[in-house]
Amino acid sequence: MSRLRRLWNVVRRSRMDDDLRHELDTHVALIEEEERRQGLTADQARRNARTRFGNPHAYRERALDAVIATWFEHACKDVRFAARVLRRAPGFSATAVLTMVLGIGANAAIFSILNGVILRPLPYPSSERLMYVSAQHPAVGTGAVTLSPPEYKELREVNRSFTAIGAFAPGAGEVNLTAPDRARRVRSANVDEHLFDALGLQAAQGRLFAPGETGRPDPAAPTAPVAILSHELWQTAFGGQPMIGKTVEVNSRPREVIGIMPPGADVLNHRTEIWLPLGLGPSELRSRRAHYLHVIGRLKDQVTAEAAQTELKTLNEGWGERVGVSDHMFAPLPTDGAARASNPDAGHVLQMSPLHDQIVSPASRAIWMLQVAAGLVLLIVCANLANLLAARVAMRRRELAVRMALGATRGRLLTQSIAEGAMLSIIGGAAALWIARVGLHALTQAYPMALPRSGEVSVDLPVLLFASGVAIATSVFFGLVQLRHIGMKGVAAALTDAGTKGATGGTRHYIRRSLVVVEVALAVILVAGAGLLIRTIANLGNVDAGFNRSRLVTFSITLPGATYPDMTRQVQTFLRLLDALRAVPGVEAATAMSGLPPHRPVLKMNTRIENATTPSVGPFHIVDYYQSVMPGYFETMGIPIVRGRGFQSTDTASSGLVVVVNERFAARFWKGLDPIGQRVKPGNDQAPWFTVVGVAKDVKQGGLDQDTGTELYKSVLQPQSASPSHVVLRTTLAPAALSQTIERVVREMDPAVPVVRLRDMEAVFAESIQRPRFLAQLLGLFAGLALLVAAIGTYGVISSLVAERRRELGIRLALGASRSAVLAHVMREGLLLTAIGVVVGLAGAFGLSRLIASLLFGVTPTDVPTVAGVTATMIIVAVVACLLPAWRASRLDPNAVLKV
Amino acid sequence: MPKHTNDRLQGTLDLLILNILARGGAQHGYAIAQRIHHATDGSLRIEEGSLYPALQRMTHEKWLRAEWGVTNTGRKARFYTITPTGRRQLEQEERRWLTLTEAVARALRLA
């Protein structure tokens, strides 16, 4: 600790300086006294004293320099000594540094993610006051529902808890933007001006939407529609050129750019590139059935979250009387069928949660789990480090004891062993941070969509502090562990029993054995977790998506409403496009549809179903997915028709209206009835009846880990269908080989329409399980690290036990024990520790199973094959780790050993 | 690495200071300088410019301990005492010095 105090003194130079000045003054005064005693006058004495003494400033400088030089000299000596000590034991040093790099690196990387995604506040002023407001339907148990425009408007007017409430609608989520170089597809957010107030966003250039500008544009008004660009889009699409007041084409309509957002500005992790007006006109403000507004409010400063939630609840109760309507969704749940038919949306309650949770919660469990896993890796590393040190101290006891006997103080030895630790930690910490940076970069590149707020993840100051904290703790720990033994025992005892096994050897071995058990147990927990997630990935990969995924290439285009105002125009264009694509060499079949599996959100469409055998939830049945398809859909996708027929070229606008349903649909709604010939009314009561002509095999529309759901197919050649936007080609060519041809064909059709997400279907599905794959790979990596470090630990303990028991083993051999018996003896020792570790670890893994259960698919946390696999893995690792020391023990030469 | 250019002299000064403190108990800087001056009949005069840096350095080497006290004329001064580490250092320095001077003397005699 004296080193620290010296450093403190150097820092507190001024105080030292004061002392010194006093001291020098005293000296001059004493000379003066002497001169006076010799008979000089006070004046002369003072002058003489000054002359005799010389320049006190220079002395002060020199004195301080001397202190700093001494301090520096000592520090250098310690560092050189530490380097020499560590160089003398390269195996130890390399192992210590390597395990430290792995432990700290893994933690720094995961902590960067934890910090960037979860801990750091959202990038808005006072972001903790931002709330996400949604409606819940407790009676039905559905998740959060977005609000309808009239309810949003009413909430704005009646609430007293919020300073500002704004709305955001993803709309289609994307728009076509005609930039100078090419048409591109950009992510869009439709917002009103209140949202900017609520979030506290400011424009970096120009201005944000003005009041009245976000309503439905009046065709007669002279003002042009407006748009705001994100900083990133401004840079990439327009090269950072001045854009305010310029016109851009969005979905083939001109819009004036009125502002540029600051870098990173976004809403709800939407990765917004262009901000467009929300467009709530009189007709939108009447439609209570359309729930599409994400509502974000900023709490008033003096209002607590609890108070606001209570207010929302009371608002719920008097809503109808306050706004003068009965068909709102906050009306009490009706009891009789007729009332339910008149207001099928009733029974919702208003709910709010912190905006931060809304953005982060989908990934937070996975991230916390990874942090726990990284923490376990660090614990294993620490256990291993303690183990390495214990072994090293055992070997260095004589050296340390000799140095103490020669007069080195405990403080001095402690300083030196901390210098050794610091040296290891600095090397380890720096390498770890580098690894964390590289690793994070690789992770965010490989899994851009697996994390919300991934753009905010970086190795920044909190991460640096975290990593240096871990490194410093490690170095102090290092120093203390090294000296503990010397401190507890007298120098003489250390000198006499160093090198042999003393009475206290047993305790030390007990501690080191426990450390091995701890390492193995922690490794088992990690390996078990990784095993479960790897099985999850395998299960997801084996799920039958319901169609033939191989050799399918898909891309998306959107025909803007401005140039293609009606469905007929759109369908005609798509038919021409598909013809052109089919003519491309290597393309076997082509089709298009409205929704691409496996990323489709559940639509839950109200549908009237004739002769349904199951009771309906309202006046309608709820169908999970509608899919509008172009001709050749089932053939191109490879979806088998299990009953009846698919769509034919004769199913046109003028022929009878037909639909195809999936197997789940038929089984759910027409139990025991023949689905062919049954009738449905898709969408609303005014829709015409459609007749079922076929049943298709189930397709995993919503994701491999999701329930299949009920599905209804309509043909785009018949009324009431949605416009297609996803094209699928069955081809022998790779997407890369096709991309130029496809872009040319689409450009010839309409140069303002960009081709996006051109990929093969396997890649689309791989991306859909990105998050579990991300988790499994990281956890697998950690488990691998844990295994490696635990193996090193086991090897270290067993081999040092062998080294310290050479004499005993030698005697056994000399007394006639066979070499295989000695080998078995040592192996048994190692395997017993491993077995205890495995049992403890499995218990721990079951204890932690709740943490992981929700992340699994098709496997339970107590999965027997996984447990068996983990146990087998651990045993194999232990055998490998113990084999070398055991073999060495069995090769001992009794003569050589006993002579010593 | 900053090291004093006049290494031998520095060692000598350290030796003298340690010796005085080992024999005479707590002393302040002025007294130490006086002692050296008188003990050598004025042939060795310690410059204050060397004395104080040496005292600072030796305090930080833990050879000396410094405490504020009062001189017999009632003046506040910093008093230095030798520590056990300082005594060990003194022994070493003394041995080294005797070896060196003996060796030099022998070399001079034989040359």
For the segment A757-791, what is each residue's pLDDT rounded down to a tens digit?
Answer: 899 998 888 888 888 888 898 899 999 989 988 88
Determine the distance in angstroms separating the CA of B33 from the nearest CA of chain A, rounded to an integer.
10
pLDDT for the residue numbered A502: 41
Question: Which of residues A287 and A579 earns the better pLDDT score?
Answer: A579
Burial A282-319 (b: 16+ CB within 10 A, else e): eebbeebeebbbbbbbbbbeeeeeeebeebbeebbeeb
A19–B78 CB contact, under 8 Å: yes
Whether the per-residue pLDDT at A14 is higher than 70: the answer is no
A23 vs B52, B54, B57: nearest CB: B52
Average pLDDT over all residues of chain A:
85
A66 vs B56, B71, B88: nearest CB: B56
Amino acid at A300: K
* Chain position carrying tokens 């113990």: A882
A63 reaches B (C-beta below 8 A): yes
pLDDT for the residue numbered A429: 84
| Mean pLDDT calculated for residue range A131-158 | 85
β-bridge partners, A680: A609, A690
Among residues A684, A620, A626, the alpha carbon closest in space to that of A659 is found at: A626
A73–B2 CB contact, under 8 Å: yes
* Contact call for residues A374 and A110 (beta carbons, < 8 A): yes
Determine the distance in angstroms separating the CA of B110 from the nearest CA of chain A, rounded to an integer.
37
Q: What is the pLDDT of residues A636-664, one digit of tens each?
A: 999 999 999 999 988 888 888 999 999 99
Whether the per-residue pLDDT at A103 is higher than 90: the answer is no
Residues 6 or more apart whose CB falls under 8 angstroms from that of A818 comprise: none
A6 reaches B (C-beta below 8 A): yes
Q: Whole-angstrom Cα distance, residue A468 to residue A432?
A: 10
B62 reaches A (C-beta below 8 A): yes
B29 vs A23, A69, A409: nearest CB: A23
Q: Whole-angstrom Cα distance, residue A454 to residue A774?
A: 13
Per-residue pLDDT band for B4 (boundaries 50, 70, 90) equals very low
Determine the distance in angstroms separating the CA of A99 from the nearest CA of chain B, rounded to an integer.
33
A76–B1 CB contact, under 8 Å: yes
A2–B2 CB contact, under 8 Å: no
Q: How many CB atoms lie within 10 A of CB A6?
A: 18
DSSP code for A723: P
Per-residue pLDDT band for A693 (boundaries 50, 70, 90) equals very high
Whether the per-residue pLDDT at A231 is higher than 50: the answer is yes
B53–A2 CB contact, under 8 Å: no
Residue A845: Cβ-neighbour burial (10 angstroms; 0-12, 13-18, 19+) = buried
Least confident of A41-50, A370-379, A632-641, A836-845: A41-50
A407: chain B residues, CB-CB within 8 Å: 85, 88
Determine the distance in angstroms separating the CA of B42 from the nearest CA of chain A, rounded to an integer.
15
Q: Whole-angstrom Cα distance, residue A622 to residue A627?
A: 15
- The token pair at A305 is 């979250």
A79 reaches B (C-beta below 8 A): no
A59 reaches B (C-beta below 8 A): yes
A9: chain B residues, CB-CB within 8 Å: 60
Whether the per-residue pLDDT at A582 is higher than 90: the answer is yes
ipTM of predicted complex: 0.80
Least confident of A178-187, B5-14, B17-26: B5-14
Q: Whole-angstrom Cα distance, residue A350 to residue A348?
A: 7
pLDDT for the residue numbered A218: 62
Least confident of A110-114, A196-200, A416-420, A514-518: A416-420
Picking from B4, B13, B27, B48 by the largest number of A CB atoms within 10 A of its own CB, the best residue to mutate is B48
pLDDT for the residue numbered A56: 78
Chain B nearest-CA residue for A27: B30
B6 reaches A (C-beta below 8 A): no
* Contact call for residues A626 and A722 (beta carbons, < 8 A): yes
pLDDT for the residue numbered A617: 66
A407 reaches B (C-beta below 8 A): yes
pLDDT for the residue numbered A152: 94
pLDDT for the residue numbered A501: 42
A53: chain B residues, CB-CB within 8 Å: 48
- Which ranges constitute the DSSP H helices of A406-504? 410-446, 461-488, 491-497
Per-residue pLDDT band for A507 (boundaries 50, 70, 90) equals low
Angle at A111 between CA A108 and CA A116, to 5 degrees: 125
Predicted TM-score (pTM) above 0.80: no
pLDDT for the residue numbered A508: 57
**Chain B (30-49) residues lying within 8 Å, Cβ to Cβ, of chain A:** 30, 33, 47-49
B77: chain A residues, CB-CB within 8 Å: 23, 26, 30
Residues, chain B, total? Answer: 111
Among residues A84, A32, A28, the alpha carbon closest in space to that of A57 is found at: A28
Chain B nearest-CA residue for A30: B30
Least confident of A307-311, A355-359, B9-13, B47-51: B9-13
Beta-sheet pairing, A247-250 with A226-229: unpaired
Chain A nearest-CA residue for B62: A2
Burial A192-219 (b: 16+ CB within 10 A, else e): bbbbbebbebebebbebbeeebbbebee
pLDDT for the residue numbered A503: 37
B76–A22 CB contact, under 8 Å: yes
A69–B2 CB contact, under 8 Å: yes
Cis peptide before A598 (omega within 30 of 0): yes
B76 vs A9, A26, A409: nearest CB: A26
Whether the per-residue pLDDT at A752 is higher than 80: the answer is yes
A63–B53 CB contact, under 8 Å: yes
Residues, chain A, total? Answer: 900
Task: Give chain B as a 3 state SS string.
Answer: CCCCCCHHHHHHHHHHHHHHHHHHCCEEHHHHHHHHHHHCCCCCCCCHHHHHHHHHHHHHCCCEEEEEEECCCCCEEEEEEECHHHHHHHHHHHHHHHHHHHHHHHHHHHC
B56: chain A residues, CB-CB within 8 Å: 20, 63-64, 66-67
Q: What is the pLDDT of residues A379-437, one digit of tens each?
A: 888 888 877 777 777 667 777 777 777 766 677 777 777 777 778 888 888 888 888 88
Task: Give A16-62 as a 3 state SS string.
Answer: HHHHHHHHHHHHHHHHHHHHHHCCCCHHHHHHHHHHHHCCHHHHHHH
Whether the per-residue pLDDT at A181 is higher than 80: the answer is no
B56 reaches A (C-beta below 8 A): yes
* Contact call for residues A272 and A191 (beta carbons, < 8 A): no
Q: What is the pLDDT of residues A821-866, one digit of tens each?
A: 889 988 998 899 999 999 999 999 988 888 888 888 888 888 899 9
Least confident of A247-251, A318-322, A506-510, B102-106: A506-510
Determine the distance in angstroms separating the CA of B100 from the nearest CA of chain A, rounded to an integer.
23
| Mean pLDDT calculated for residue range A355-384 | 87
B60 vs A27, A65, A71: nearest CB: A71
A72–B57 CB contact, under 8 Å: no
Residues 6 or more apart whose CB falls under 8 angstroms from that of A353 comprise: A131, A132, A134
B67 reaches A (C-beta below 8 A): no
Determine the distance in angstroms separating the CA of A423 from the nearest CA of chain B, rounded to an integer.
20
A6: chain B residues, CB-CB within 8 Å: 60
Whether the per-residue pLDDT at A262 is higher than 90: the answer is yes
Least confident of A137-146, A147-156, A343-352, A777-786: A137-146
Residues 6 or more apart whose CB falls under 8 angstroms from that of A34 comprise: none
Whether the per-residue pLDDT at A506 is higher than 60: the answer is no
Amino acid at A92: F
Picking from A3, A5, A18, A30 by the largest number of B CB atoms within 10 A of its own CB, the best residue to mutate is A30
Whether the per-residue pLDDT at A492 is higher than 80: the answer is no
pLDDT for the residue numbered A498: 44
B1: chain A residues, CB-CB within 8 Å: 72-73, 76
* Contact call for residues A67 and B66 (beta carbons, < 8 A): no
Whether the per-residue pLDDT at A728 is higher than 80: the answer is yes
B29 reaches A (C-beta below 8 A): yes
Question: Which of residues A343 and A312 earns the better pLDDT score?
Answer: A312
Cα dist from A788 to A99, A783, A795, whole Å: 9, 9, 10
| Mean pLDDT calculated for residue range A296-317 | 92
B96 reaches A (C-beta below 8 A): no
Among residues A793, A869, A866, the alpha carbon closest in space to that of A385 is found at: A793
A69 reaches B (C-beta below 8 A): yes
- Integer-rounded Cα Rg, in Å, for chain B is 15
Q: Whole-angstrom Cα distance, residue A198 to residue A474?
A: 45
